[in-house]
Amino acid sequence: MLAVASAVVAVGTATGMLSALGEERGGAAGGPAVGQDRPVVTYARTPAPPAPAPSASATPSVRPAPSPRLTTASPTPTVAKRRTPQLYRHPDSQVADWVRAHPDDPRAAVIGNRIADRPAAVWFADFAPAAIASRVRAVTSAASAQGRVPVLVPYAIPDRDCGGASRGGAPDLAAYDGWIDAFARGLGSGEVIVILEPDSVAQADCLSAADRAARFASLARAGRVLKAADPGARIYYDAGHSGWHPPGRQAALLRQAGATAAAGIFSNVANFRTTEDEIAYDRQVLDALGGPASLGAVIDTSRNGNGAPANGAWCDPAGRRIGRAPTLGTGQARIDAYLWVKLPGESDGCKGAAGSFTPSYAYDLASSS
């Protein structure tokens, strides 16, 4: 069941991720301690002011054919067709910057159309309590102005990555609770998706029983605080992926972390497991988890178009490709969304510096069949 991990390494500026820092904070990519792939995290600049909201297109209506026998009948009311909400694309990212800076590069059109133009998650990976509310608000207000749904990733849990390559986060759980309080103040009142702390549940075996219980209590609190601040927030908890813990064990961990009171679970962040495998796995986890029937799952499809490498390679493995486009309309029961949580083209540390945008890697992912 082991699949070697990619490390989360924080470096410099840019992606669809957001932080207080513009300086390097990370180290080299490293191998796994547990057997999961984790996202390579880089930090983005403070986002530009919200773009003007696009003009809404007319909502189609359905007109019934007149009855041949009831020529004087009153007209049937127009039936509005419900539209699936659209995800928000953060304008500042390494890939978007590269495309703008290299209009004559023969790879630019493919990378721009297939990666840069897709909505992706915005990460908040540094511990900066004084700035976090305003930075979250900058993203949520920009998304609201466009009538779109942002995907936010709080990533500051203490003992992050079990002391591995992306170690860091808040100094302790009390400080983390305060950071979450500030994060919540930036949510606004619209619909948002929150991918709460990748690896925080599936990777918790590195903690002592007491520390694990304390972390899970803090995660449960985080879910309550975020939802109370914005009833439109959809909070998802870490379910690892289909090649990691068995569904029953993962569900037991999620239950302790308060996932039954959230919107559901997320899986496959920065991994390569096929969408079909993740759908089956997530449904098994949800069944074992119990809780309301409304609980669903979201899947990171950013790099899983060809599935996981047979040899277990984790660091920018060859032959991978982008997966299904991000959407809130999956057509699958209990699968709420396909998301790009890790932006394709950001290296795991082999094709380029960890967390950096690597054009050759992005092009391979976008053009591979």
Which of these is catalytic: 37, 92, 161, 336? 161
Round to whole Å and give the CA distance between 60 and 242: 40
Q: What is the reported pLDDT for 314?
A: 80
Per-residue burial over 283-312, b if 16 or more Cβ lie within 10 Å, else e, is bbbbebbeeeeebbbbbbbbbbbbbbeeee
Round to whole Å and give the CA distance between 243 and 87: 28
316 catalytic, yes or no? no
Amino acid at 98: W
Sign of the four-CA dihedral 208, 215, 171, 157: positive
Which of these is catalytic: 92, 159, 199, 364? 199
For residue 58, with 0-12 CB atoms within 10 Å meaning exposed, 13-18 middle and 19 or more buried, which class applies?
Answer: exposed
Round to whole Å and give the CA distance between 218 and 163: 19
- Opening angle at CA 266, ends 97 and 352, nearest 5: 35
Tens of pLDDT, residue by residue over 180-239, are: 999 999 999 999 999 999 999 999 999 999 999 999 999 999 999 999 999 999 999 999
Q: What is the reported pLDDT for 82?
A: 63
User: At residue 324, does pLDDT exceed 80?
Assistant: yes
Round to whole Å and give the CA distance between 149 and 168: 28
Q: Can you give the pTM of this predicted structure? A: 0.81
Tokens of 268: 């496959």
Tokens of 199: 């690896």
Q: How confident is the model at residue 45 (pLDDT cuts 50, 70, 90)?
A: very low
199 catalytic, yes or no? yes
Tokens 């690597």 correspond to what residue? 358
Tens of pLDDT, residue by residue over 133-163, are: 999 999 999 999 999 999 999 999 999 988 8
More confidently predicted of 5 and 281 = 281
Sequence-distant (≥ 6) Cβ neighbours of residue 219 within 8 angstroms: 157, 196, 197, 200, 201, 237, 257, 258
Q: What is the DSSP string of 334-369?
A: TEEEEE-SSPTTB-SSSSSSTT-B-HHHHHHHHH--
Q: Find, among 265, 320, 274, 330, the residue nearest to 301 by Cα.
A: 274
348 catalytic, yes or no? yes
Q: How far is CA 213 from the centre of its chain?
A: 25
Average pLDDT over residues 10-36: 32
Q: Find, among 295, 313, 306, the residue nearest to 344 by Cα.
A: 306
Which of these is catalytic: 37, 277, 316, 348? 348
Q: What is the reported pLDDT for 354?
A: 72
Sign of the four-CA dihedral 26, 31, 32, 36: positive
Count of residues making up the chain: 369
User: At residue 311, does pLDDT exceed 60?
Assistant: yes
Round to whole Å and give the CA distance between 359 and 369: 17
Round to whole Å and give the CA distance between 105 and 140: 33
